[in-house]
Structures are given as structure tokens and as C-alpha cells.
Chain A
Amino acid sequence: MNIVVCVKQVPDTATERKLRSDDNTLDRDAADGVVNELDEYAVEEALRLKEAHGGEVTVLTMGPDKAADTIRKALAMGADKAVHLVDDALHGSDALSTSYAMAQTLKKIGFDLVILGSESTDARTGVLAAMLAERLGVAQLTLANKVEVEGSAVTIQRVTDYGYDKVQGSLPAVISVVEKINEPRYPSFKGIMAAKKKPVQKLGAAEAELAADQIGLGAAWSEVTEAAAAPPRAAGTVVKDEGDGGVKTADFLSSKKFI
């Protein structure tokens, strides 16, 4: 099975994240880049599927040169090779144009299964998996906390507010995963050493055959017009126990869909 895992480099959530003052895009120099955490679960799931069914795991990332760190980590975890879509013309791409660029690249490199985290910790749109599936014309199986492949059938448990739905599709397909799905492995030192020798193919916009008017800030359908610091946290709700404290607490949790 030919599995492609899409990974994204995001600013470390533990550091202060900023937007650039000139074009309101992410200031990538302001914070250390790390692998989007949910994508690590995607890499782990791809590796497990490969271990169970055989095949090959390819990492695909789109981002500036510095995103190579992200690729290396996925290769050190055990992926076989990588494709790095890198071009200044991609700067400022929104979800729609990112999905275009990545779908074009996926068509070029071929796949049976595409796996990615259900959202990134920076933009948090959570739409890329669905957009990719639409653009590629394949099944979309999103928000999976369990994946099973049998022959050409893929079955997932799709997490809902109240439990999960069982969703089945056939290969080729796009899957997005949530964090409950597995526990990502640490890259072992042997894996880290082996990763140095694994092939990373760099593709520019021209090599990926991307139309110039479909990518980058100019092609973005969405625009960040303003950004403001989050307001300070409002005071919490205090439940006064007058014999019905338990019920009130349960009502509150229920209203927030925690239970």
C-alpha cells in the first residue's frame, strides 16, 4: 500500500506566535517550528498500516526551506521518503490554494491512502482533508480515532460529540486522524541516523505543475484583515451547592457538551 502522510510545520504552541506586520501571514521567524502535533499521529498511523499491510510511507509537506526539519522527524520515525513542495510563490496560500497545490502534487506522486492530522495548531481550519478528497475525487474519511484496511475497503471510527460513527470507503481515500488514535513513537537514534540517507525530493511550483494564479497570497480566497490579542479570560461560573450542586454541575458540563 502506497501511503502519503501530509505533515505541516507550525510554530511551537509553547511560544508566542505572531503574524507578520506587512501581509498578516504567519511570522515563521518569530517562533520555533515544530511538527503539527496531530500530524505525528498521522505518521504513526501510516507506519502502523505499513507494518501490518506492507508498502511504503511517503511524507509530503508544503512550506519554506525550514520545514525540512519536519520532514526529517517523520523520516526518523520511520517513513521511507519525502516530497517537499517549496516555492516562494506558495507564500500566503490559504486552505483552498494549499489544497490545490497539495492535490496536484499527490496526483503526481500517486497514492492509495492519504493520511493527515485533522487540523493544524496554527490556522486550525480543519478543512484540508475534505478539500483534498474533493479535489482528488476520492473518499474522505475524517476525524478517525481508528482505521482498519481490508483489501480495498477502509473503515474508520469517526469521532462525534456523542461517540463515534463507523464510516467505510474504498481505496484510494483521504483520512484525517484525531489524537486519540494512537501514541506516536519517538524517533529512535537509529531512525535518526537512517533518516539522513532517505531521499527527499524538492518540488517547485513549476515542477509540481501548479498554475500561478491558483497559489499564494494573490490567489487566496480568505484574507486576514486584522488580528488582536485574545481577551483576558472571563470569570468562571461558580456553582453554589444548595443540595443540588451535583445536578447543576452536570447541567453545566452537559451544556458545554463535555458529557
Chain B
Amino acid sequence: MDDLLRIEDELSEEQRLVRDTTSAFVTDKVLPHVGDWFEEGTFPARALAPELGGLGLLGMHLTEYGCAGLDAVSYGVACRELEAGDSGLRSFVSVQGSLAMFPIWKYGSQEQKEQWLPRMASGEAIGCFGLTEPDHGSDPGGMRTTAKRDPSGDWVLNGSKMWITNGSIADVAVVWAQTDDGIRGFVVPTDTKGFSAQEIHRKLSLRASVTAALYFDDMRLPGDAVLPGVRGLKGPLSCLSEARFGILWGAVGAARACLEAAVEYARTRVQFDRPIGSFQLTQQKLAWMYVAVGQAQLTALHLGRLKDAGAITPQQISFGKLANVRAALDTARQARTILGGNGITLEYPVIRHMTNLESVLTYEGTEEIHTLVLGEALTGLPAYR
């Protein structure tokens, strides 16, 4: 598809190589199988993780400890190409790099970094991130999971977490819990006694992704399991900002994949002796999608440059996540109508992206919460406090 706005020309040589490597991997190793994974409700994380790690996709925007140290735009471009494959694949990489590795890298002790980051960067160890609870999603500050210090200096955790990507396959979980000292993060090996995870089935979205509930039952951790570098909700929220930045790029990839499928279909599908792409109604849909994808891409690139300049704000990330995921979901739905009946099968990528994007709309800050963040930015009046 023609890059009408010449946005790819804006990428540096290094960013283009990152794009090409990721896209080649997705084309060769993911696209031939992802429809089957989605149908079967599986994600071959153990097989893919070493390959993703070998390419440098895990913790790609972090430095040292086996991480590649890419700039923010490169990180975004990689997320875009991953999600052009499937939102589940991008979710895996986001959770590993931005939600599990990032807090250890940013707030962890030297021992925690050395113990986990190289293995996670290589894909040998898989991580997950426990913040959301069954009764606390948009309102994480009310979480009920507690960590109490007993006289021996150990921490004892009780509670549960919900909607945890990679939860039942992880080797390590970064778990956030209430303490006497506010919310703290804990690095939890998943073979710790008292830790259990249960996979969530019957999903109709992100089927090529593992989602689980985590349970902590008098789970005892040594005193040094806590992340020493952060206290309070800003710890987990800073991780989410990292991951949301990847999502606002990833959505562009999912949307682009839907548009490409729709254009190809519109050019070749003949009705009334003409390709349906020659009908004005179809062209109107395609042009609308083209504009939506182009605008989302420009937003992503602009935010990437702000992030590389160290100047990005959480409000700007809310803008990008809100605008781009909505654009992607609307694009997927438009594309679905162009593909007609074929649009509902896994022979084409569109319905897969469409249902995936329903999760993407909700996770990592719902559309509603990001709307209220912008509302507060405009009025100075917080609606949710």
C-alpha cells in the first residue's frame, strides 16, 4: 500500500532496519499460524520467546543487561509491526518489556536486575505484571492485595489479581500490593509457595494470548523481594505509560493490516461485473480508513519524538492511546464490512484484529479513563476523584 504521507521516509536508517526485521519475523513466523492459534485459543509463548529475545524484541527500549537500547520511535515501530501480526503477540512483548522488565530495570535492586533482566531479555524467562484485581480495574489505588512484614523481615502477601497477560506461563511476576508504607512492587518467582495462577478461558478476544488470574495465599517472600526504588501508585502507573506508548503504535499496525486486507479485497472481489473497489460506497470507506490510519501514524510518530526528547507527558500518552485505538477499532469494523461474509472468517485477518481491539480499547486504561484524563487536562477538574 502506498505510503501517501511519506511517513516512512521520516524514519532513520536504524528505525527502518528495526521495522524490517520485525516485519520479516512476523511475516515468516507468525502470520502463517496466527489464525490457528486464535482459533485454538493458544499462544506458543515458550517457543516464540527465545526467537523474540534473539532478535532483541524483549526489553528492546531498555539498556544493559542484554537489552538492545533502542530509541522510543524504534520501540514504537517494532510494536506497530508486531501488532500488524496480532495484538496478542504485541501484548506478549509489551508485558515482558514494559510491564515486567521495566519496573525491575527502573526500580529494582542490582541483585534483582542481574537475576532477572538478562534471562528475560533472551526470552528464557517470561514475566507478567499484577496490578488489576477482580474488583479494582480503573481504580487500582483501592487494591485489596496486601503485603505485611512479619517479625522475621519476610513479606507475606494475600490477595488476587485478574486479567494478567502471561500470568499462568510466567517465571516471574511483578506484583503490586498495599503495605503500611503505601503501594509497593514485589518481584515474585512463580514457583513461590502460596502463588497460583489459573488461565482464563472462554475469551472471544486476544485468543492468541495467555490471560490468567493470580492468587496469593500467605505467600511468603524474603525482605529483599520488594522493589526498593519506588513507593505509591506512580510505580505501576509509570510502567503503564511505557506499555501504553507501545499500544498507541501497535494500534496503527492492526489498523494498517485491516486496511491492506480491505484494499486487496476491494480490488479483486467482483460484484455486478465490477470490482467492488470501483463503487463509491467502498471507496468512501477505504478513504476514511486511509485517513484514520495516516492520522494515527502521525500521532504515534509525534509522540515517539516527544518521548525520545524526554518530554512526553501521561496526558499525551492518553491522547495517543484514546485516539489511535479508537481509530484502529473503527477501521477494523469498516474493513469488515468491505469483506462481507469473508470478513467474519479467520481466512482474513480483519475479524481477528477487530475482536482483539475490543480488549486493547479496555486494557491499559479504558477508553473512558483516558477520556477523563483529557477532560481533566482541558478543564482542570478531575471527574473520577
Contact = CB atoms under 8 A, between A and B. Distances in A.
- Are A and B co-members of a single complex? yes
Interface string B56-79: 110010000000111000100010
B68 A189 contact: yes
A188 B55 contact: yes
Given A186-B24, A187-B21, A193 B13 contact: no
Interface in A184-213: 186-193, 195-196
Interface in A62-81: 68-69, 72-73, 76
B287 interface: no
A73 B78 CA distance: 16
B25 A190 contact: no
B69 A192 contact: no
Interface residues of B, number: 19
A188 B56 contact: yes
Given A188-B56, A190-B56, A73 B68 contact: no
A187 B68 contact: no
A28 B14 CA distance: 21
Range, interface on chain A: 10 to 19
A188 B54 contact: yes
Contacts of B60: 189
Interface in B329-352: none
Contact of A188 (B14, B21, B69, B74): B21
Nearest to A191: B56
| Residue picked from B20, B25, B57, B74, most chain A C-beta under 10 Å | B20
Contacts of B56: 188-192
A196 B14 contact: yes
A189 B21 contact: yes
B276 interface: no
B17 interface: yes
A186 B14 contact: no
Nearest to B8: A32
B13 A69 contact: yes
Interface in B1-52: 13-14, 16-18, 20-21, 24-25
A72 B54 CA distance: 19
Interface of A: 68-69, 72-73, 76, 186-193, 195-196
11 contacts: A186-B24, A186-B25, A187-B20, A188-B21, A188-B54, A189-B56, A189-B60, A189-B70, A189-B78, A190-B56, A193-B68
